[in-house]
Structure 1
Amino acid sequence: MPSTKHQPGYTLVEVMVAVAILGIGVVGLVGLQADSARYQNATYHQTLATLLARDLAERIRANADAAAGGAYVGTGTGSSPDCVSAACTPGQLAAFDLAAWRQRALDRLPSAWVDSSRNGDTYTVRIGWGSTSNADDCSPTTCVSLEVTP
Structure 2
Amino acid sequence: MTHLNDPASKGSGIKSTNKSTIKSTVPQCKQCGVGMIEVLIALLISAFGLLGLAGLEVISLKYQTVAHFRSLASQTSADMADRIRANVNAAQDGHYFTQDSYPLNTLPIKQCMATIDPCNAQEIAAADLYHWRNDLQKIAGGWGNVTGDVTNGMILTVYFYEPDIAGGGAKGIKCEGAGKLSIRCFKTVFLP
Using the size of structure 1 for normalisation, the TM-score is 0.87
% identity of equivalent residues: 26
For residues 120 and 51 of structure 1, what CA distance do their matches in structure 2 show? 21
Write the deviation string for residues 89-129 of structure 1: whole angstroms up to 9, x where unpaired: 1111001100011011112x112121111235221001111
2:131 is aligned, of 93, 96, 100, to: 100
Residue 112 (1) aligns with residue 136 (2) = no
Q: Which runs of 5+ in 2 are unaligned?
A: 1-23, 163-168
Shift of 1:87: 0.7
CA RMSD, Structure 1 to Structure 2 (Å)? 2.3
Shift of 1:142: 2.5
Residue 80 (1) aligns with residue 106 (2) = no
Name the structure, 1 or 2, with higher relative contact order (CA <8 Å, separation 6+): 1
Shift of 1:80: 2.7
1:48 is aligned, of 72, 82, 87, to: 72
Shift of 1:10: 1.6
In structure 1, the residue matched to 2:156 is 125
Rg comparison, structure with higher value: 2
For residues 185 and 148 of structure 2, what CA distance do their matches in structure 1 show? 18
- For the Cα contact (< 8 Å) 1:117–1:123, is it kept in 2? yes
In structure 1, the residue matched to 2:3 is none
- For the Cα contact (< 8 Å) 1:113–1:133, is it kept in 2? no
Paired residues, number: 147
SS in 2 for 1:129: strand
Which amino acid in the other structure matches residue 186 of structure 2? V
For residues 26 and 125 of structure 2, what CA distance do their matches in structure 1 show? 97
In structure 2, the residue matched to 1:21 is 45
Write the deviation string for residues 8-27 of structure 1: whole angstroms up to 9, x where unpaired: 32212211111111000000
Residue 144 (1) aligns with residue 186 (2) = yes
- For the Cα contact (< 8 Å) 1:70–1:118, is it kept in 2? no
- For the Cα contact (< 8 Å) 1:126–1:145, is it kept in 2? yes
Write the deviation string for residues 19-72 of structure 1: whole angstroms up to 9, x where unpaired: 111000000000111111111111111111100000000011111111111111
For residues 52 and 155 of structure 2, what CA distance do their matches in structure 1 show? 43
Q: Which runs of 5+ in 1 are unaligned?
A: none
For residues 170 and 133 of structure 2, what CA distance do their matches in structure 1 show? 15
